[in-house]
Amino acid sequence: MIYKAGANNNSISNEELTDLLLSHKTSIDFTTGKISWDVQTGAFNRTTGDFVLLLTTHTKSFDAGGNRYLNGLADGNGAVDAFMGAMASKGGLTRVGSNTSVYFERPNGFVFRGNQYTTTYSIAKTGAEISRYTSRFGYALGAAQIGYGYYEDGWAYGNHTRVAMGSVGGGIIGGWVGAEIGATGGAGLGAGIGAFFFGVGAAPGAAIGGIIGGFVGGFGGGWAGGELGGSIVKRHYGLK
């Protein structure tokens, strides 16, 4: 566009030209998640007295990263919850003593439960008790992540909210499925290894393998499920 400073019908005033140059028209589309703005710049032609105004439009791609502190808390809590859940489901009769020793179930079914010198604790019971709180805290963090998406959408139900819901839901499902598969597979593998290769015994091997497998499967499945859930929502709504 070419604007010429002046007062006739084909020109605009200096004040109007100044307003044009200083304006930054910004629009936010909460449906697509895109933020666009018009930056108006110009150059004055000293020979002709014309002012050439250039209009450029910029677009920022959709960002559904959420709040990094909430995401970090959710990841950390998810790791602890996966480990505690694996201990609860596959710990069996294994106990930990006040002397830091670990006591596994013996082939005859006996496990040391402590004496006047040593107190022992069931890792399954301990894991179940702690996971009660970590799982609830995880749900609260998930709700907070969805709430933050709602805030990013300008307190409206938009794409940030949808993506957050997909990520949280996918993480819950992925964590549960991963924990079940990992714990079951790890317990079977650990029992076989313990019984036939290292002389540890099937029960200790199953406990160790089940806990490791449940932790890896639960945490990994939760992370992968969250990423997949968010990606599905993005693809459905055409977000980049």
Whole-number average pLDDT of the chain? 78
Q: For residue 188, give its domain range.
A: 68-236
pLDDT at 164: 93
Do both 133 and 204 map to the same domain?
Answer: yes
Look up the pTM and report it. 0.68
Could you say which of 20, 39, 60 is where a domain stops? 60
Model pLDDT for residues 64-80, shown as the tens digit of each residue: 667 889 989 999 999 99
Residues in CB range of 124: below 8 A, 6 or more apart = 87, 88, 89, 90, 91, 92, 93, 94
What is the count of structural domains for the chain? Answer: 2
Do both 101 and 23 map to the same domain?
Answer: no
Mean per-residue pLDDT, 87-92: 91
Check whether 182 has a pLDDT greater than 70: yes
Of 16-25, 90-99, 228-237, which gets the smallest average pLDDT?
16-25
Mean per-residue pLDDT, 186-195: 75
Measured over the CA atoms of residue 155, residue 159, residue 163 and residue 169, the dihedral's sign is positive
H or E segment to which residue 190 belongs: helix 159-196
Could you say which of 27, 42, 60 is where a domain stops? 60
Do both 18 and 109 map to the same domain?
Answer: no
pLDDT at 40: 44
Could you say which of 60, 79, 107 is where a domain stops? 60
DSSP state for residue 114 in the 8-state scheme: B
